[in-house]
Structure 1
Amino acid sequence: MKPFVLSIGMLFIFFPNMFDSFEVNKGRDFYESTGNVIWDIPTEEKLIALTFDDGPHPIYTPQVLNILREHGAKATFFVVGENAKKFPGLIERESAEGHEIGNHTYTHPYEFTPEQLQDELIRTDEVIYNITGNYPSYYRPVGGSYDDMIVSTAVHSGFRVVLWSWHQDTGDWKRPGVDKIVNKVVSGARPGDVVLFHDAGGNRSQTVAALKKIIPALKEEGFTFVTISELLERNAIEVTE
């Protein structure tokens, strides 16, 4: 298990009122100010983080990786534990090619208790560690949901929560059309953006086709594609308890 992970059960023993208002959402400004939740990073450097949820997928993830490799671009993959366990070779490839791997739960649940969430995170952690030898540092909640319970559970499980730039939700899971995905990303691209894609969870052929256009277009504008960790290194955020 990841070092210094606090059991949610133990937290209930020592802090019985900790989750009395666990569904409270204090809003982006509050969580962002703690450094525990990240949407995007203020920077003047033309850096952008491409992120992919729900994989790995045996068809679409290799295609995404091929495009990234062709352009020398790095990305962050928020993987589902049960998929990672099915396709360990793709996790190995993501890691070997310099991409970052994040935790997106084990079974992709939309409803859970604090204990269930921590179990999902730990199980996925162990799958990733057993494949790569490294534990992930970042967790992306399913559906981008966040509240006190989700954030507290993640933090006490050793994670920062990573969401995405509000103007860079590609909506690719809805298959809106390649051009719409391309225009969403390219027209709104700003330094420090975190872009949301999906490489699994359905037919992701539009995502793959769009990526072939997005990366060259943003490279032409002078953007560099980095992992979440690389983006954070440019503007270190102090995490408060």
Structure 2
Amino acid sequence: MKKILMLIFTVFCFSETNAFAAMRERPEYEKTGNVIWEINTKEKMVALTFDDGPHPVFTPLILDLLAKYDAKATFFVTGKKAILYPEILRREVKEGHEVANHTYNHINNPNISATKLSSEIVKTDRIIQKIIGYKPVLYRPVAGHYNDVIVNTAVKNGKLVVMWSWHMDPKDWNNPPASKIIKRITNGIKPGNIIVLHDWHGTELSQSCQTVLALEKILEFFSKQGYRCVTVSEMLYRSKINIPEPFYPFSMYIK
């Protein structure tokens, strides 16, 4: 009986060790160059990113504000919503923004299999390419989950994994007051920060979106402080960081 229990304990410990080994610390992933949280630069630029869109009402409002302040952003879109609102993706590209991959179904599961995740990424790539003419190089994991399976699967599909600066997450998906979003973003901003926001809040088109209400104040703050809002790809390019070969010219982002 003791031998059986010892065997079970050993197998359990071995399995747990392997499970934990599948996720490494952030610095280890950063060293590989396959995952970024922010860019080390002295140039006063930041990258605004928007997840989970496009949204038929909120995304156009966001685009209007970005145009008003001559700001560029990166939109991590889901394939499922891109199919519904292709004209919004076309507008994003036409106005100089970047479209990136955020999976098809937005499955919030850190233990997603490599096969399922690869299917989600490839399906979304095909949809985006059909709509705007190119496959995105950038990919953001759902809910910011990362481990060896997620990162390696993304890399095998030609993706650079883009996270965000941990202090630049106002959790706007929970629709907090605009004042809290503004405070979180404007306090402690640094060159090279990647900011995460969301252009999808529920399904009610009449629902107020605190992100939209906060965005103009944020953009106004950046303008006064001398910060440029650029796409993630432009920030990488200007920082001379090696990234996967793009399917579109970087020159479209460089002024």
Relative to the length of structure 1, the TM-score reads: 0.88
- In structure 2, the CA distance between the partners of 1:147 and 1:77, relative to structure 1 (3 Å rule), is same
Q: Residues 154 and 160 of structure 2 are in contact (CA less than 8 Å); yes or no, is this contact kept in structure 1?
A: yes
Aligned partner of 1:76 in structure 2 is: 74
Question: Are the structure 2 counterparts of residues 77 and 212 from structure 1 closer, same or farther at C-alpha, using a change threshold of 3 Å?
Answer: same
Q: CA deviation at 1:113?
A: 1.1
Q: Is the 8 A contact 1:50 1:194 kept in 2?
A: yes
Higher Rg: 2
Q: How does 1:1-241 map to 2 (within 5 A)?
A: 24-111=22-109, 112-202=112-202, 203=207, 205-238=209-242
Q: With the length of structure 2 as denominator, give the TM-score of the two structures.
A: 0.84
CA distance in 2, matches of 1:80, 1:117: 13
Q: Percent identity?
A: 47
Distance 1:21 1:239 in 2: 29
* 1:118 aligned partner, one-letter code: S
Moved more, 21-30 or 145-154: 21-30
Gapped runs of 5+ residues in structure 1? 1-19
- Structure number with the bigger relative contact order (C-alpha 8 A, sep ≥ 6) is 1
Deviation at 1:27, TM superposition (A): 1.1
Residues in 1 aligned to 2:208 and 2:131: alpha-carbon distance in whole angstroms: 25
2:39 maps to amino acid: I
Whole-angstrom CA distance in 2 between matches of 1:71 and 1:234 = 21
Q: Deviation at 1:135?
A: 0.5
Q: What code does the residue aligned with 1:122 have?
A: V
- Aligned positions, number: 221
For each residue in 1:88-122, what CA deviation from the matched residue of structure 2 results, as whole angstroms up to 9, or x when unmatched?
Answer: 00000001111001100000002321100000000
1 CA distance for matches of 2:21 and 2:77? Answer: 25
Question: 1:73 aligns to what SS in structure 2?
Answer: coil
Tell me how large the CA RMSD over aligned residues is: 1.6
Q: Find the residue that maps to 1:188 and give its secondary structure.
A: coil
Distance 1:239 1:133, change over 3 A: closer
1:225 counterpart letter in structure 2: C
Tell me what 2:250 maps to.
none
SS class of match (1:57): coil
Counterpart-to-counterpart distance in 1, 2:93 and 2:232:
14
